[in-house]
Amino acid sequence: MKEVFQLTLKERLMDDFKEAMKAHDEVRKNTISFTRAAIKQVEIDTRKDLEDEDVIPIIAKQVKLRKDALEDFEKGGRKDLADAYRAEIEVLSEYLPRQLSEEEIKDIVRTVAAELGIEGGKENMGKLMGATMPKVKGVAEGTKVRKIIEEFLA
């Protein structure tokens, strides 16, 4: 019987890095290289070998950094840099779990609010945000969740 195993994210990144080098895909190669360096830095800082659940937030942070810079490039009219960052975000997104849709986040917010007995009011922002974020960690951006919670409480 053939044993089925799945590569860890770090193994996938390494394999994809090698493939990008062979294919002379500079964007993919550089993006994966920077991400692997960020993962390695965390491993050195924490003195531990990271598992997939530890690697996902690092990749998500890399995406967020690029999205933040992307906004600035677009405002500054730097289409060349904006396009480059969009390509990098696309590469990194392949390694993240599927992100929740706005409707899925709204459903989670409604459920959490019902559990806590919250029906509205801005004073409940912290309580609702604090209870919702652990449920969407890694599959929804905090800014998107905050916006949906604000709309819910209004």
C-alpha to C-alpha distances, 101 to 74, 95, 121, 132, 136, nearest whole angstrom? 24, 18, 24, 15, 11
Q: Look over the chain and give the mean of its residue pLDDT values, rounded to a whole number.
A: 90
- Note the pLDDT of residue 49: 93
Identify the burial level of 106 via C-beta atoms within 10 angstroms of its C-beta, where 0-12 means exposed, 13-18 middle and 19 or more buried.
middle
The pLDDT of residue 30 is 96
Mean pLDDT within 85-99: 93
Mean pLDDT in residue range 59-82: 91
- Taking CA atoms, 40 is separated from 54, 65, 97, in Å, by 12, 18, 21
Residue 22: predicted pLDDT = 97
Q: What is the mean pLDDT of residues 89-106?
A: 92
Q: Rounded to whole angstroms, how far apart are CA atoms 90 and 106?
A: 25
Q: Which domains does the chain have, with CATH numbers?
A: 9-93 (1.10.1510.10), 102-153 (1.10.10.410)
Rounded-to-integer distance, Cα 114 and Cα 66, Å: 35
How high is the pLDDT of residue 109?
Answer: 92
93: Cβ–Cβ under 8 A, 6 or more apart, which residues?
Answer: 63
Residues in Cβ contact with 133 at an 8 Å cutoff, skipping those fewer than 6 apart: 142, 145
Please give the model's pTM, rounded to 2 decimal places. Answer: 0.75
Q: Is the pLDDT of residue 2 over 60?
A: no
| Res 53 pLDDT > 90 | no
Give the pLDDT score at 1: 43
- pLDDT grade, residue 50 (50/70/90)? very high
pLDDT surpasses 80 at 5: no
